[in-house]
């Protein structure tokens, strides 16, 4: 990518897209194509085709998606599969038609089988049944990976797929029903602290293991791969370490300086027991994360306090 290459970031107001935008601005890139969902409905093929024909982006970061935590994925099952397959199909196909130089598609670690051996390497894709709560989202993301590979094979398009682990960072969703665990717990502990509530409820058993990556690290890895990786298949993006939800809750409790108790709501689902990514492919390519979890949570909490 040249500094003045025309770069379309689909989903630039979301946590991932905004992190990629910030990262590229910091590196001196200056020619961005950005559209809000009100300006361009990515589920509408005609609108997407017109946009690509008119604007002719050179590079595309496909970070637009319908995302959410475990309850959101499980509740809005139709919306997750419909919106994600539409958005990515429209953008990938329009990128082929208008001869985009390179496209980077962002997936998710939930594409791997529910009971995959840990840590999960890229070759475990499609080797077993998926976790039920996020199956529609995972199927959409798997379709995206396979589309990128098919367009590469049939038409020679340079489309690559990257699979981030669970993410957190600026512009996250803090809606208690629909958000992911990390922002939800930050908000719950913060509100319990300022309102002197004696206990915070954590969903499930606390025993599932999760890996967390700061969105700024994801942006750095994505831009690194946009420059360096030109092959089929997928590349995992994570830290290579995980912790239990109970340990995460304790860490957030400490960062927030909340003095009360933690209780577990066993009526809520645990989801996949563990999903730790094998990041050796990414490390071998030359990239490693820089933001450790406690530091990242502290930074996010400091911003959250200022905004709430």
Find the shortest distance in angstroms from Cβ 203 to ligand GFB: 4
Query: Is 210 or 214 the residue whose CB approaches ligand GFB more closely?
Result: 210
Q: Which is nearer to ligand GFB, 24 or 219 (CB)?
A: 219
Query: Closest approach of Cβ 33 to ligand GFB, in Å?
Result: 27
Smallest gap, in angstroms, from Cβ of residue 288 to ligand GFB? Answer: 21
Catalytic entry in 112, 137, 258, 304: 137
Phi and psi at 26, nearest 5°, equal -60, -30
Work out how close the CB of 116 gets to ligand GFB at its nearest, in angstroms, rounded to a whole number. Answer: 13
SS3 16: helix
Find the helix or strand (DSSP H, E) in which 250 lies. Answer: helix 245-256
Nearer to ligand GFB, 58 or 135 (CB): 135
Closer by beta carbon to ligand GFB, 233 or else 269? 269
Instruction: Tell me which residues touch ligand GFB (CB under 6 A).
Output: 69-70, 73, 108, 110, 133-134, 137, 166, 179-181, 184-185, 202-204, 208, 210, 245, 268-271
Asked if omega into 119 is within 30° of 0 (cis), the reply is yes
Is the distance from CB of 210 to CB of 248 less than 8 angstroms?
A: yes
**Cβ distance 278 to 121 under 8 Å?**
yes
Structure letter (DSSP) for residue 110 = G
Per DSSP (E only), the strands in the chain are 7-10, 32-33, 59-62, 102-106, 159-164, 166-168, 199-203, 209-210, 212-214, 234-237, 243-244, 261-265
Give yes or no: 137 in active site: yes
Q: What share of the chain is helix, strand, coil (3-state, %, to 5)?
A: 45, 15, 40
Kindly report the three-state secondary structure assignment for every residue of 111-171.
HCCCCCCCCECHHHCCCCCCCHHHHHHHHHHHHHHHHHHHHHHHHCCCEEEEEECEEECCC
Least distance between ligand GFB and beta carbon 127 (Å): 18
69/113 with CB nearer ligand GFB: 69
CA pair distance 46, 53, nearest whole angstrom: 10
How far apart are the C-alpha atoms of 13 and 173, rounded to whole Å? 12
Least distance to ligand GFB, CB of residue 88, Å = 15
Which C-beta is closer to ligand GFB: that of 210 or that of 289?
A: 210
Task: Tell me the residue number closest to ligand GFB, measured at CB.
Answer: 69
Residues with a catalytic annotation lie at: 137
């Amino acid at each position: 990518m040249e500094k003045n290459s025309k770069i379309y970031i689909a989903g630039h107001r979301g946590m991932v897209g905004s992190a990629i935008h910030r990262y590229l601005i910091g590196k001196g890139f200056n020619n961005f194509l950005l559209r809000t969902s009100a300006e361009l409905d990515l589920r509408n093929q005609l609108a997407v085709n017109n946009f690509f024909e008119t604007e002719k982006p050179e590079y595309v970061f496909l970070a637009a998606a319908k995302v959410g935590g475990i309850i959101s994925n499980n509740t809005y099952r139709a919306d997750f599969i419909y919106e994600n397959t539409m958005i990515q199909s429209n953008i990938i196909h329009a990128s082929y038609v208008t001869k985009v130089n390179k496209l980077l598609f962002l997936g998710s670690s939930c594409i791997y089988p529910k009971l995959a051996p840990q840590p999960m390497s890229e070759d475990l894709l499609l080797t077993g049944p998926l976790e039920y709560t996020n199956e529609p989202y995972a199927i959409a993301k798997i379709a995206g990976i396979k589309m990128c590979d098919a367009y590469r094979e049939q038409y020679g398009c340079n489309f690559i797929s990257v699979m981030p682990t669970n993410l957190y960072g600026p512009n996250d969703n803090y809606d208690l029903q629909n958000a992911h665990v990390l922002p939800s717990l930050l908000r719950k502990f913060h509100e319990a602290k300022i309102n002197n509530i004696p206990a915070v409820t954590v969903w499930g058993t606390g025993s599932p293991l999760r890996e967390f990556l700061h969105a700024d690290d994801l942006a750095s890895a994505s831009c690194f791969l946009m420059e360096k990786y030109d092959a089929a298949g997928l590349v995992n993006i994570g830290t290579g370490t995980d912790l239990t939800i109970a340990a995460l809750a304790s860490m957030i409790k400490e960062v927030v300086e909340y003095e009360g108790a933690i209780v577990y709501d066993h009526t809520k689902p645990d989801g996949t027991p563990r999903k730790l990514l094998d990041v050796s492919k990414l490390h071998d390519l030359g990239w490693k994360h820089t933001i450790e979890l406690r530091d990242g949570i502290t930074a996010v909490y400091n911003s959250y306090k200022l905004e709430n």
